[in-house]
Chain A
Amino acid sequence: EDQVTQSPEALRLQEGESSSLNCSYTVSGLRGLFWYRQDPGKGPEFLFTLYSAGEEKEKERLKATLTKKESFLHITAPKPEDSATYLCAVHWWRSSASKIIFGSGTRLSIRP
């Protein structure tokens, strides 16, 4: 079964305390893995797309990595403004149809 699982569901960190969020997937023929940030009451905001195992991308305090079955979003020395829900999604094609599944997200809270 095609599935995307994010862990943990929620994570509370102290300001400056680095950690990682996980996104594991079971689809075959991955065309791209996306990371988004979502603030309460707003639409998701695009962060990264990763296309192949071994790829890494960085943006400010965030770094995303990809293996064949999972992706990690590393947060280095987070600040309170990094508090948000982080979503991952996987995209693939099957029988000429575009498929995309989002994970349920990780709610990240950074305490000052």
Chain B
Amino acid sequence: NAGVTQTPKFQVLKTGQSMTLQCAQDMNHEYMSWYRQDPGMGLRLIHYSVGAGITDQGEVPNGYNVSRSTTEDFPLRLLSAAPSQTSVYFCASSYSGEDGYTFGSGTRLTVV
């Protein structure tokens, strides 16, 4: 039982490049979310999903896309990286959305 697995752990991108952050969970959780964490600003919700095939926007969705083709996987795509997207990204999953979320260990992204 690995919980929530995020890859890669570190990534450096050039402005304008695209990439996908991977997130997988093995707990059969329906709810999955992506957050970014910036100093002094706390965790902010980017996108979330309440089940396979269903996604919705969070607080800061611009510049990011998601899809949920399976219960296990919830990748986050950066379409055209910008320095403002330099951050630590966390994926999280929950059984019902109203109980606690299990977080991954994060991806530290730097855009230069």
Contact = CB atoms under 8 A, between A and B. Distances in A.
B45 interface: yes
A49 interface: yes
A87 B100 contact: no
Given A44-B90, A46-B101, A104-B41, A98 B56 contact: yes
B103 A102 contact: no
B90 A87 contact: no
B53 interface: no
A98 B106 contact: no
Interface in B2-59: 4, 33, 35, 40-45, 48, 50, 56, 58-59
Given A43-B105, A45-B103, A102 B42 contact: yes
Nearest to B31: A98
A26 to B, nearest CB: 15
A79 interface: no
A34 B50 contact: no
Interface of A: 31-32, 34, 36, 41-49, 51, 87, 89, 91, 97-98, 100-105
Interface of B: 4, 33, 35, 40-45, 48, 50, 56, 58-59, 90, 92, 97-106
23 contacts: A31-B98, A32-B98, A32-B99, A34-B101, A36-B100, A36-B103, A41-B106, A42-B106, A43-B4, A46-B103, A49-B98, A51-B98, A89-B43, A91-B97, A97-B56, A98-B50, A100-B33, A102-B42, A102-B44, A103-B42, A104-B41, A104-B42, A105-B42
- Among all A-B residue pairs, the 7 with the closest Cβ atoms: A43-B103, A46-B100, A102-B43, A104-B42, A102-B42, A44-B103, A32-B98
